[in-house]
Amino acid sequence: AQTVTQSQPEMSVQEAETVTLSCTYDTSENNYYLFWYKQPPSRQMILVIRQEAYKQQNATENRFSVNFQKAAKSFSLKISDSQLGDTAMYFCAFMKPYNNNDMRFGAGTRLTVKP
Longest dimension (CA), the chain: 43
Shortest Å, Cβ 89 to other proteins:
9
9 counts as binding other proteins under rule CB under 8 A: yes
Residue of 52, 58, 67, 70 that binds other proteins (CB under 8 A): 52
Shortest Å, Cβ 4 to other proteins:
7
Query: Closest CB to other proteins among 33 and 64?
Result: 33
φ and ψ at residue 62, rounded to 5 degrees: 55, -115
97 counts as binding other proteins under rule CB under 8 A: yes
Shortest Å, Cβ 69 to other proteins:
20
88, 47 contact by CB (below 8 A): no
Go through 73-87 and write b for each residue having 16 or more CB atoms within 10 A of its CB, e for each that does not. bbbbbbbeebeeebb
64 counts as binding other proteins under rule CB under 8 A: no
* C-alpha R_g of the chain: 14
Q: How buried is residue 90: exposed, middle or buried, by Cβ count under 10 Å (0-12/13-18/19+)?
A: buried
| x/- map, 25-44, other proteins, by CB under 8 A | --------x-x-x----xxx
Residues that bind other proteins (CB under 8 A): 4, 9, 33, 35, 37, 42-47, 50, 52, 91, 95, 97, 99-103, 105-108
